[in-house]
Amino acid sequence: MRFKHVFSIIGPVMVGPSSSHTAGAVRIGRVARQLLGCQPEEAEITLYGSFAETYSGHGTDLALVGGLLDFDTDDERIPEAFEEARKRGLRFSIKPGTGVMPHPNFAEITARAGGREASVQGASIGGGNIEIYSLNGFDTGCSGYYPTIAISHEDRVGVLASITATVSGAGLNIGFMNVSRKERSGDAMTVVESDRRPDDELLSALRGLPHIKSVSVIDVT
């Protein structure tokens, strides 16, 4: 825990100019990319608060697009992220939004590819750290401190028990777990933060469970 606090003060190794407006933005973009599970073909980015007011000067727009390209915070290609996106066939739009959000440095991203769609709402909370508030419209978030498994599933009896049993059976310690559903017996999302990145065998086992629709790994540590 001590090392996490030190990291929060020092901040990440990064391409500037700002840990909040650049490094944190890169990580929000990477969360959207990893939730989608592949390189997006198109993305819609809406910025709120301080992000909306200063994104061009602080490179927030470049950072978010760089994150969608899976660049890390210290990737020297971030200043050329727009051009790199065009080379890779990523079409994107960036616009300011209106309304009060949970944090001044707030972004909403919707990414699409191959008929799939992923949406993320998140904030850069300082020192390159992020807080994700919503995944695919569900009020399930993650801190970005730890590797995270995002599981989309049907809201059925026994699903959570099978998820936790499968994760613990693989020797993976659950540090945090959050569940959200939109309606009874409808779709649901479970987010599991763990002490280490899940391996392919565990992910395959989770995908094979009854009522599971998709499993994604979010790891921006």
Identity of the residue numbered 106 = F
pLDDT score, position 190: 98
Q: What is the mean pLDDT of residues 29-33?
A: 98
Which residue matches tokens 């994700």? Answer: 132
Angle between helices 49-58 and 60-68 (to 10 degrees): 90
Average pLDDT along the chain: 91
DSSP 80: G
CATH topology of domain 148-218: Alpha-Beta Plaits (3.30.70)
Q: Is the pLDDT of residue 101 over 50?
A: yes
Q: Look up the pTM and report it.
A: 0.89
Query: Considering the domain 12-135 in this protein, what is its CATH number?
Result: 3.30.1330.90
Q: What is the pLDDT, as a whole number, of residue 19?
A: 54
Contact assessment for residue 177 and residue 193, using Cβ atoms and an 8 Å cutoff: yes
- As a whole number of angstroms, the longest Cα–Cα distance in the chain is 50
**pLDDT at residue 12, as a whole number:** 54
Q: pLDDT digits over 38-77, tens only?
A: 999 999 999 999 999 988 888 999 999 999 999 999 999 9
Q: Measure the CA–CA gap between 69 and 171, rounded to whole angstroms.
A: 32
Residues 6+ apart with CB under 8 A from 216: 34, 35, 36, 37, 118, 149, 150
Mean pLDDT value of segment 99-115: 95
Domains of the chain, by residue range, sit at 12-135, 148-218
